[in-house]
A and B are shown apart, each in its own frame.
Chain A
Amino acid sequence: MMKQMVLQRIAIGFATLLVVSIIVFIMTSWLPGDVAAIILGQSATPETLAALRAQLGTDQPLVFQYFGWLGNLMTGDLGISKAGGATISSLISSRIGNTMMMAGLVAAISIPLSITIGLFAAMHPGTTIDRIVTFCTLSTISVPEFFIATVMVLILAVNLQWLPATTYLTGDETTWQLLKAVAMPLITLVIVVSAQMIRMTRAGILNVMNSPYIEMAILKGVPRKRIILRHAFFNAIGPIVNVIALNLAYLVSGVVIVETIFSYPGLAKLMIDAVQTRDLPLVQACAMIFCGTYVVLIILADVASILSNPRLRQPK
């Protein structure tokens, strides 16, 4: 029962990835006009046009182009960037480590932080602390990411002058220098991602608190702290894991803004630069990486919520 559901979910995930690749491909190939003519411009002759079209593959029907592109994508051959002519795989591999490091650090800090704060707020509902937490998290999720980033620059870089406002990574920093360089984007992302997780953790626990067995525990006199930590928390783990995966997916959009504002040399910055210069092969590759990660995380979230539901463990 459970295995079937998980397998089914993963199958749907693969189908979604395929559809996503079709959307990305069509959107970026559906350009008005002939790409070869645009590249060659004034110097185009019928012969050079035909040669370039054959080289780019644009003389083939769109379906063939798509499968060719998908095949190349699978084998890691991402093509050549229009600007500068470097291979896309080398451009991406030089950046992806930075973004992964950032995402990993954000996850490592924000997950324990938000579960703790969310639990704490759920333990004291209606108190001043709970209200402050609710107000702060609601405000954070209703302002743009760059607002948080701007305020952080104002406080930490301009007024206190503790941290640099932009990130320069040369590759041979000491650990301390590295930490200091990534601190600003890191803090911003942690705030943005945690706000949603805190809200959902709190809501998840309070939701479980409405169930009959919690009422039973209250009636038989179990202390509130013990009810939350021993009764409610373990039953809320499923929804909470779900929330964590969903919010790591949310990192994808947060990272785009934050890398730009702090000039952090990651994958998102590469993609924004590519969009600005309309370097479409590079945009396609970056978009596939981000969307793929997003879809995989969403599937993980779904699988986690299936696995955590004990009713699905036994076949009926």
Chain B
Amino acid sequence: MTDQATAKEEEVIAKLDAFAELPDAPPKRGLKLTWVGKLGVAIVVFWLIIVVIGPSIAPHHEMDMDGDDSFLDAYSGEYGSFYLGTDYIGRDTFSRILFGARNTIGISLVATLLAYLVGITLGILAAVKGGWIDMGISRVNDAILALPTIMLGLIVIAAFGSSIIILILTAALIYATSVFRIARALGQDIMVQDFVEAAHARGEGVWWIIKSEVLPNAAMPLATDFGLRLVFVVLFISSLSFLGLGVQPPASDWGSMVRENLQGLTYGSYAAIWPALSIASFTIAINLIVDDISAKSGGSLAKKMV
């Protein structure tokens, strides 16, 4: 009798194993990146470390006009402690890039996190509650989405002036709209799945369903989207800084560094090129990671949403 039972159990286990091999079996979690993706991760980690320790390893202060000459790299071969030369008023370009990482990446990270906090909360709320709450938030959201982001930024800055707080709030508000759209769509997709209905039938509360059923299933697409959204925010913030409307001088920021030193290009100075390359390396690296992840695991949804 007991032998029969174990035999049956083994049979069931064997069947379960067979199910795991079926094409529609749930995808195995865990990520394996190609070397391109790993390169992306390495670059992003490098810049994140610079955000933290950059100011303390910089040979000069971002605001000190230590160099005797402007555009050192164009006019003399002697670099001394100015590894990348000096900018238009004799500040060390290398140190300003190290300091600038904190402003450019730091502000963008905070803004993106805030956008996510607001977007996901409202998006999942709209998906779970539905009805007039969903209608109300969605209409306002559509109206903001109907405007070009840079125009919204310009209008806000024309009205309120530019400060780091305003920059973060503006970017967070603008990009919360797209996060909201994605979180709502994902939430609605997940809400009609059988396992959510089962949880409803069990009598679980809304909060429990969000925490234990909706969020874990939405996590992966949202993570890839977070990367892309961060790229957009970096581009948005540095574009505003480039226009002279973002981070205000004398604080260093990669976007405004390009603007300040643009004239140097004509004298043969690369002071505008280095910060531009820094932005490019960071944003391209994130895109490489996101591409790699989406190619591997169920990224079609995340890609469609963008």
Contacts and interface: CB of A to CB of B under 8 A. Distances in A.
A27 B243 contact: no
A34 B151 CA distance: 25
Interface string B51-62: 000000000000
A271 B273 CA distance: 26
Given A16-B143, A139-B284, A142-B284, A158 B154 contact: no
A111 to B, nearest CB: 20
Interface of B: 142-144, 146-151, 154-159, 161, 231, 235, 238-239, 242-245, 255, 258-259, 262, 265-266, 268, 272-273, 276, 279-280, 283-284, 286-287, 291
B284 A294 contact: no
Contact of B258 (A20, A150, A283): A150
Nearest to A18: B143
A147 B245 contact: no
B239 A257 contact: yes
Contacts of A298: 146
A28 B276 CA distance: 32
Contacts of A19: 143, 146
A138 interface: yes
Given A23-B144, A150-B276, A253-B151, 12 more contacts: A27-B155, A143-B283, A143-B284, A146-B259, A146-B276, A157-B266, A252-B148, A256-B154, A260-B242, A283-B154, A287-B154, A294-B147
Interface stretch (A93-101, A235-243, A273-281, A303-311): A273-281
B268 A272 contact: no
Given A28-B155, A157-B266, A147 B280 contact: yes
B226 to A, nearest CB: 15
Given A30-B159, A146-B276, A295-B146, A275 B151 contact: no
Contacts of A16: 142-143, 146
Contact of B242 (A28, A143, A144, A153): A144
B143 A278 contact: no
A150 B273 contact: yes
A151 B144 CA distance: 33
Contact of B148 (A27, A145, A253, A272): A253
B159 A257 contact: no
Nearest to A295: B146
Contacts of B159: 27-28, 30-31, 280
A23 B139 CA distance: 13
A144 B279 contact: yes
B230 to A, nearest CB: 11
A297 B155 CA distance: 21
A73 to B, nearest CB: 15
Using C-beta atoms within 8 Å of the partner chain, give the interface range for chain A. 35 or more
B265 A165 contact: yes
A52 interface: no
Minimum-distance CB pairs A-B, first 6: A253-B150, A143-B280, A19-B143, A283-B158, A275-B158, A142-B287
B274 to A, nearest CB: 11
Interface in A134-156: 138-139, 142-147, 150-151, 153-154
A176 B129 CA distance: 62
Interface in A283-302: 283, 287, 290-291, 294-295, 298
Contacts of B156: 27
A147 B276 CA distance: 6
Interface in A87-135: none
Contacts of A244: none
Contacts of B286: 142
Contacts of A294: 146-148, 151
6 contacts: A142-B286, A146-B238, A150-B265, A158-B268, A252-B151, A257-B239
A253 B238 CA distance: 13
A165 B263 CA distance: 9
A146 B239 contact: yes
A24 B238 CA distance: 23
Contacts of A274: 158
Interface string A183-207: 0000000000000000000000000
Contact of B245 (A150, A275, A287): A275
Contacts of B158: 28, 274-275, 278, 280, 283
A150 B239 contact: no
Contact of A276 (B143, B239, B245, B268): B245
B243 A256 contact: yes
Contacts of A144: 235, 238-239, 242, 255, 276, 279-280, 283
